[in-house]
Amino acid sequence: MKTSFDEIKRMSFRALDAGRAPAGVDEDSAINTAWLEASGLPGLRWLGDALDTSDPKERHGALEPRLEGMNASVDAGGASAVFLGPGLIDLMAYLCDEHGDDAVLAVERVAHAGFLTGFIGQAREAGHKFVMSPADPAFAASDVLISCKQPPEVPDWEQLRANRKTSLEEGVEADEADFKRVYIYSRKILVPETEQSRLSGAGAGLTDND
Amino acid sequence: MDTQRTESEPQAWPQVALRPAEQIMRLDRMGSFFSSRISFMRALLRIVARDNWQFDCPVCELDEDGYGHMVLRAVAPDAVYSLVTVTEHLEPDERTDRVIAEKWDASFALIDGEATQDDIDRLKQNIPHQEAGRYTARELVLSRANKSMRLFHYVAGELAQGRQPEMDQLMATGYLMRTTAVYGNGKFGLADFPKASAHPALAGPFRAEMLTVYLIRQLSFLLVNHVAKAKGGDKAVSLSPTHCRALGIGNSTGLGMAPFLIKHPILIHRWVLARESALARVRALEAADQEVRQRFTDLLQRAGRHVALWNVDDEIQMARIRVLRGELETLNAQHEAGRLLVEAKPWDQLYRQVEAEMSQEAQELIVSLLIELYPERVDDLAEQMATSLKEHSEPAKPIGALRHILNTDYGWALNTDFADPNERHYFWYYSEGKEEPRRGPRFEEFGAGLEMRLGFGYQVHRLAAELQRWDDDTSIAEFLIKRPKWRSTVRRIQTLQHYPYGEIRDNLLGTACRPIDMLRCKLSFFGATGFDPRSDLWTRITMYQGAPLPHELGAATADDWSFPCPGEIDENIL
């Protein structure tokens, strides 16, 4: 189905907000979902999977990094990159500020590691040199390294950029089932209607025949 | 004040100090703003006139009641925009301006390009359903409108009889149709903003939406002429240009606009910075020549007549208008007596006098009036009001720096007693009823757990309490890694230290908050007039009232439609 970057972002934000993702993580991961979809990667599927499979109590996004000089490691314990991604990128940016381009962040047992591709890509657009390895096209890995070493050939950042340009011109092509799954989650942010809220909570009159 | 200009630099004119954000970004002040020559409608029409856009109606398939479909076309030098319109019969009990409506008198989509038959067929199936339809990246804007039934039928009836309608009747309403929503930026699959803004004319905020409304205004004239012709045959006449100019397009605006101001703080900063910079440039002038003084005289008198025509049912607003009328009379009298503009820096002196002696309505009206006097000094600012910048955190900064910002910029939040239930009385939310934005009493209505994050003052208050448990030297990175729930709040605070006009310095959850103040602020930047609050929660306004018609855009005085006074527009506009 055809959709837009903004529609995916807004819907994903509501799904994450309703899913109790931390304030700010919901914003960043929503943008990341749209970025991935516009790039031709299954952001909505990863987001839907994360919301399907994670316990709301595991969506806090907090990390307990082990710091060893210029290196850091995080055991995600199976938590999803959808909720941890923004913090991991912040941590990597902090390590680079402190130690330069030799900093390395090892992330163990992270679910939906492919979701990190969008955060890495956006960080690169902002001037960072981050890469992730293994950059597995199937995104099956659960242990990844984030560093500033020579970019790997996968993913093909130029191809992802070209895909986003096409998405802007022609709309984002998203899988309808993935879209609908996240849409259902997004509806959970809506407050059930009552007669009181209908009559007094909002704006104009119920009929306007002037 | 740090007013970062990291995108395009405004032209370097001398200027006095900008008015501080703590003075401007208060709800009651924002609720006093007037449109100005850098408002989006004015800026758009200047571009349309400069580039000699052409307008026509290549498709008009309407029955004798005016139901069917039409295409209006705007041809720019480098682009074509087509407004596909569907008009339908609507039962009176179906006509509501609220988001919860399911049907409208007219529905619209603005296409980027020529409307093909496939486009028309596809959109006829979708736009009458508005939010329930699906759209593509070909469409820039989706909108709908209802008729002012009384005025539309009256005007059609008079034209059918070969008569022009009474100007008084037009003035009482101000429009034949009013929009109830104008959607852009990717909603429901529409083109994302970066695609629309790739067209230079549409690069500014809400330009595609403002173009749509201008076309809807023109359509409303075509529609009423069509109905009159079907009714009166050869006897019928068309609505005269004078009468057309007296009419704009109405708009009903509810709570949906308020969250926008909170969610786009850098953009709002750019809007307000442009307006404040325009004022500061004019106030810096050491002297005013006779031609500009005469222009000031004319505009001050016109503003007085404009305000004299501004009548609303809302008691609070009407009381403000009465005060404003008296203040404008005072200013006019002082000016006639030669007591204004007598010192060096005459505009600065005038502003200071008004600020010291008069209401905020008068102050903000004078701001718009002063900006009007010097197009060459301020018009470039209308092109500085967009932004692609995003909020960003600074993880390497220490908590001590964050605490310093809180203590410096957020006294309004830290000094609010949120233990008082009145200060957290309301929560804002989206309803299941067509996702209509609403505000409800937190302690009485269900749903506070699903509230929108608009209570930033409360968040700041809670963050300050949390930070008491952290050392000044701890990095923001470490704090956020361990307490990610503060990510959004910290990022906003760190960002907005560079964009001070981005934050409303009032508690939006408290009983004192009147959402219409936010609506008026935003609508003034659109260029709306006739602000007519219907409650604290929604307002009607008029757009493009007094604006030149397409064939008049080339006239030398076409841009002179501030403070519109329907009925005397021939003398003052063209």
Q: Which DSSP string do the residues of B179-235 spell out, in sequence order?
A: EEEEE-TTGGGPPPHHHHTTSGGG-STTHHHHHHHHHHHHHHHHHHHHHHHHHHGGG
What is the distance between the alpha carbons of residues B195 and A165, in angstroms, rounded to a whole number?
10
Q: In this structure, what token pair is assigned to residue B92?
A: 């009176």
pLDDT number for residue B4? 44
Flag if A87 and B484 touch (Cβ within 8 Å).
Answer: yes
Same domain, B76 and B160: yes
pLDDT-derived band of residue A208, with 50, 70 and 90 as boundaries?
Answer: low
- Chain A, window 61-120: residues with a beta carbon less than 8 angstroms from a chain B beta carbon: 61-65, 86-87, 90-91, 93-94, 97-98
Q: What is the pTM of this model?
A: 0.94
> ipTM of the assembly?
0.92
Same domain, B210 and B306: no
CB B270 within 8 A of CB B383: no
CB-based contact, B195 to chain A, within 8 Å: yes
Domain assignment present for residue A114? The answer is yes
The nearest alpha carbon in chain B to A168 belongs to B195
What is the distance between the alpha carbons of residues A60 and A26, in angstroms, rounded to a whole number?
11
CA of A179 vs chain B CAs: smallest distance (Å):
12
CA of B374 vs chain A CAs: smallest distance (Å):
38
Beta bridge partners of B475: B398
Which residue is associated with the tokens 């984002």?
A172
pLDDT number for residue B3? 43
CB-based contact, A183 to chain B, within 8 Å: no
The nearest alpha carbon in chain B to A207 belongs to B96
Q: Which pLDDT tens digit goes with each residue over A2-30? A: 999 999 999 999 999 999 999 999 999 99
pLDDT number for residue B286? 96
What is the distance between the alpha carbons of residues A207 and B180, in angstroms, rounded to a whole number?
13
Domain assignment present for residue A209? The answer is no
Interface probe for A, chosen from B149, B389, B444, B487 (most Cβ of A below 10 Å), is B487
Same domain, B184 and B290: no
Provide the terminal-to-terminal Cα distance of chain B, rounded to the nearest Å.
Answer: 42
What is the distance between the alpha carbons of residues A7 and B529, in angstroms, rounded to a whole number?
31
Residues of chain B contacting A86 with CB distance shorter than 8 Å: 484, 487
Among residues B469, B476, B473, B471, which one has the least CA distance to residue B495? B476
**pLDDT of A138 over the 70 cut:** no
Which residue is associated with the tokens 């758009």?
B44
Domain assignment present for residue B272? The answer is no
Among residues B399, B482, B466, B431, which one has the least CA distance to residue A202? B431
Give the DSSP H or E segment for B263: helix B257-263
| Structural domain span for residue B72 | 41-252
Same domain, B116 and B193: yes
Q: Helix A157-170 and helix A25-38: axis angle, to 10°? A: 90
Same domain, B145 and B208: yes
pLDDT-derived band of residue A140, with 50, 70 and 90 as boundaries?
Answer: low
Which among B252, B278, B294 is the end of a domain? B252
pLDDT number for residue B572? 43
pLDDT number for residue A201? 58
Among residues B562, B569, B501, B570, which one has the least CA distance to residue B366? B562
Same domain, B318 and B172: no
**Average confidence (pLDDT) per 10 residues, chain B, 574 residues:** 46 90 97 98 97 97 97 97 96 79 93 97 96 95 94 97 95 92 94 94 96 98 98 97 95 87 97 98 96 97 95 95 98 94 95 98 98 97 94 92 97 97 96 86 92 96 97 93 95 97 97 95 97 91 96 93 78 43
Among residues B139, B92, B94, which one has the least CA distance to residue B116? B139
Residue B562 has what DSSP assignment?
Answer: S
Same domain, B219 and B348: no
Question: Cα-Cα-Cα-Cα dihedral of A121, A123, A128, A131, to 10°?
Answer: -40
Same domain, B298 and B207: no
Q: Helix B315-336 and helix B290-308: axis angle, to 10°? A: 150
Same domain, B233 and B331: no
CA of A190 vs chain B CAs: smallest distance (Å):
5
Domain assignment present for residue B447? The answer is no
Same domain, B64 and B200: yes
| Structural domain span for residue A147 | 2-153+162-189
CB-based contact, A208 to chain B, within 8 Å: yes
pLDDT number for residue A209? 61
Give the DSSP H or E segment for B416: none
Longest C-alpha distance within chain A, in Å? 72
Domain assignment present for residue A200? The answer is no
Q: How many domains are contained in chain B?
A: 2
Q: In this structure, what token pair is assigned to residue B137?
A: 């990246």
Domain assignment present for residue A62? The answer is yes
What is the distance between the alpha carbons of residues B478 and B481, in angstroms, rounded to a whole number?
5
Domain assignment present for residue B91? The answer is yes
Question: Cα-Cα-Cα-Cα dihedral of B471, B476, B482, B488, to 10°?
Answer: 130
CB-based contact, B486 to chain A, within 8 Å: yes
Q: Which pLDDT tens digit goes with each residue over A37-74? A: 999 999 999 999 999 999 888 888 888 899 888 899 99
Domain assignment present for residue B265? The answer is no
Flag if B98 and A61 touch (Cβ within 8 Å).
Answer: no
Domain assignment present for residue B396? The answer is no
Spell out the SS3 assignment of chain A. Answer: CEECHHHHHHHHHHHHHHCCCCCCHHHHHHHHHHHHHHCCCCHHHHHHHHHHHCCHHHCCCCCCCEEECCEEEEECCCCEHHHHHHHHHHHHHHHHHHHHHHCEEEEECCECHHHHHHHHHHHHHCCCCCEEECCCCCCCCCCEEEECCCCCCCCCHHHHHHHHHHHHHHCEECCHHHHHHHHHHHHHHCECCCHHHHHHCCCCCCCCCC
Residue B148 has what DSSP assignment?
Answer: -
Sheet strand arrangement including A104-108: A66-68, A71-75, A104-108, A144-147, A131-133
pLDDT number for residue A117? 93
Nearest to A94 among B93, B437, B477 (CB): B477
For strands A104-108 and A71-75, give the pairing.
Answer: parallel
pLDDT number for residue B2? 39
Q: How many domains are contained in chain A?
A: 1
What is the distance between the alpha carbons of residues B299 and B31, in angstroms, rounded to a whole number?
22
pLDDT number for residue A4? 98
- Between chain A and chain B, the number of residue pairs with CB atoms below 8 A apart is 192
Which among B198, B230, B252 is the end of a domain? B252
pLDDT number for residue B541? 94
Which residues of B195-332 form beta strands (DSSP E)? 248-253
**pLDDT of A86 over the 80 cut:** yes
